[in-house]
């Protein structure tokens, strides 16, 4: 079965194993250094003892000129460190003949230190284990220059105390290494858990988001990168929740908006089918035509929005007269505004710079903006439409109404798809989103200023042809 590559497992393999290896190398280096230090100190200590004995013997030989047998025996018998080590005298046959302890040595004694000392005429060293399992350190030194009876002196000491100290040190270092590993492990697991726990919560929450449940939120417990991620995901959930709510509201609104003209068309069609006088026929046909146009505009907006979402929204750009398209849009709404008791003032300049764009799409934007101005104005209201060129490179169209206005909290969202700031007025909520996208595709801007119960001003700016023709 394939193991799941969790963060904890990866940390243990990649980090903890390296730390263990580093600690092991450090521990081995420390043990080697301490062991070398202890053995070197012991060897130097034994050398100093041999030097002292050799000095005594050398001075005796120089002063008396007699044999060293009696003096060597006296020196061995009075050896002050006999409780710590054993001093020996070795004859020319390589046999230990005198010892400071007075006990005979082993019958078969391996003395590689003696062999090295005699061969190299200097100190010889050896560490070995005796027959009873005791580890010893031996140092030999040749005295052939001052004695004809003895070839060397030798000192031997047990390494048990030193080995015990080294073992204690190894145990202490190992315990410290284990404590460091435990501390690193605990702190590492705590740190990893502080990452894994919010990640698991993020995973569980995002799975709910995937199923369409945007009510859950992630608890933010820190201000680090994880906390920032949690805050971003919560913000995303808020936006998704708002978008989902606006989408549902949009569907409901569009359903209502579609039902209203269809109901009117069906009702008048049934009335006309039953017959009636010329006035009734004229009124019915007028309502049917008007509602059909309204229905057609709504369907066209939906199609445009769908094309934008799918990247299939196209433009047929050419040199165009903005005044002509604006005039046609105003003309379309003059009669309707009159019927609704709304007065339109259109300030038309004599001439404006030409614009490079899609005249049908630009007219669609004008129609949408003027329609909104009338829609959000009350009977007796005023809609003002102005067009000018603030400079040679820009064309500006301003549509201002004195209607209900838009709340300050709703103003930043009015160009968002599906968003409707006022649910008491008709509309699908995508007209401004489509209009803003069309103006942006012409490298222009659509800005909205509004104050509740005062009115709304929409300002459209488009680049003159000299700037847009190469776009």
Convert the pLDDT of each residue in 407-418 to its tens digit: 887 777 777 665
Residue whose structure tokens are 């103006």:
439
The tens digit of pLDDT for each residue in 220-237 reads 666 777 778 778 877 887
Side-chain-side CA neighbours of 336 within 13 Å: the count stands at: 21
Residue 308 pLDDT greater than 70, yes or no:
no
Final residue of a domain: which of 251, 279, 306? 306
In a domain, 63, yes or no: yes
The tens digit of pLDDT for each residue in 336-383 reads 788 888 999 988 888 888 999 888 888 888 988 898 888 888 888 899
In a domain, 37, yes or no: yes
CB 288 within 8 A of CB 323: no
Domain match, 343 and 437 both: yes
Mean pLDDT of all residues in 101-112: 70
The tens digit of pLDDT for each residue in 119-154 reads 999 999 998 888 788 888 999 999 888 888 889 999
Domain match, 446 and 344 both: yes
Enclosing domain of residue 101: 7-165
Collapse the DSSP code of 250 into the 3-class scheme (helix H, G, I; strand E, B; otherwise coil) and give the result.
Answer: helix
Domain match, 417 and 325 both: yes
Rounded Cα gap, residues 264 and 254, in angstroms? 16
Domain match, 58 and 130 both: yes
Strand partners, 138: 126, 156
In a domain, 15, yes or no: yes
How many structural domains comprise the chain?
3
CATH number at residue 153: 3.30.450.20
Domain match, 264 and 286 both: yes
CB 465 within 8 A of CB 442: no
pTM, 2 dp: 0.49
Final residue of a domain: which of 306, 339, 367? 306
Question: Over the chain, what is the mean pLDDT?
Answer: 81
Question: For residue 54, how many other CB atoms are within 10 A of its CB?
Answer: 16
Domain match, 353 and 237 both: no
In a domain, 176, yes or no: no
Mean pLDDT of all residues in 12-38: 86
Residue 44 confidence class, pLDDT cut points 50, 70, 90: very high
**How would DSSP label each residue in 268-327?**
HHHHHHT---HHHHHHHHHHHHHHHHHHHHHHHHHHHHHHHHHT------EEE-HHHHHH
Domain match, 20 and 58 both: yes
Residue 298 pLDDT greater than 80, yes or no:
no
Quote the pLDDT of residue 78. Answer: 84
């Amino acid at each position: 079965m394939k193991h799941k590559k969790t963060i904890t497992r990866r940390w243990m393999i990649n980090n903890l194993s390296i730390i263990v290896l580093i600690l092991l190398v450090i521990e081995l280096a420390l043990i080697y250094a301490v062991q070398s230090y202890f053995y070197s100190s012991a060897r130097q200590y034994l050398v100093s003892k041999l030097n002292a004995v050799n000095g005594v013997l050398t001075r005796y030989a120089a002063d008396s000129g007699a044999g060293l047998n009696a003096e060597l025996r006296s020196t061995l018998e009075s050896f002050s460190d006999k409780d710590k080590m054993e001093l020996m005298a070795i004859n020319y046959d390589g046999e230990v003949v005198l010892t400071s302890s007075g006990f005979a040595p082993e019958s078969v004694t391996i003395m590689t230190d003696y062999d090295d000392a005699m061969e190299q005429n200097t100190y010889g060293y050896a560490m070995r284990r005796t027959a009873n399992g005791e580890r010893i350190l031996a140092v030999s030194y040749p005295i052939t220059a001052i004695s004809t009876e003895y070839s060397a002196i030798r000192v031997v000491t047990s390494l048990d105390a030193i080995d015990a100290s080294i073992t204690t040190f190894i145990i202490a270092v190992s315990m410290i290494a284990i404590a460091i590993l435990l501390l690193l492990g605990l702190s590492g697991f705590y740190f990893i858990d502080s990452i894994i726990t919010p990640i698991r919560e993020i995973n569980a929450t995002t799975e709910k988001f995937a199923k369409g449940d945007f009510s859950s939120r992630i608890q933010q417990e820190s201000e680090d990168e994880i906390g920032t991620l949690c805050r971003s995901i919560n913000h995303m959930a808020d936006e998704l929740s708002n978008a989902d709510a606006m989408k549902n509201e949009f569907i409901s609104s569009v359903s209502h908006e579609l039902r209203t003209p269809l109901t009117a068309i069906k009702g008048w069609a049934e009335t006309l089918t039953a017959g009636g006088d010329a006035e009734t026929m004229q009124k019915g046909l007028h309502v049917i035509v008007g509602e059909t146009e309204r229905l057609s505009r709504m369907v066209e907006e939906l199609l445009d929005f769908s094309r934008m979402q799918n990247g299939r929204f196209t433009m047929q750009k050419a040199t165009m007269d903005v005044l002509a398209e604006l005039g046609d849009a105003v003309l379309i709404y003059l009669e309707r505004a009159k019927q609704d008791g709304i007065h339109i003032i259109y300030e038309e300049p004599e001439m404006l710079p030409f614009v490079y764009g899609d005249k049908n799409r630009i007219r669609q934007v004008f129609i949408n903006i003027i329609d909104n101005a009338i829609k959000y104005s009350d009977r007796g209201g005023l809609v003002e439409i102005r067009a000018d060129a603030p400079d040679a490179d820009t064309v500006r169209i301003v549509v201002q109404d004195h209607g209900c206005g838009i709340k300050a909290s709703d103003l930043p969202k009015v160009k968002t798809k599906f968003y409707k700031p006022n649910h008491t007025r008709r509309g699908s909520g995508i007209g401004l989103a489509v209009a803003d996208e069309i103006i942006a595709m012409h490298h222009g801007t659509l800005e909205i200023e509004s104050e509740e119960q005062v009115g709304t001003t929409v300002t459209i700016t488009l680049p003159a042809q000299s700037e847009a023709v190469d776009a």
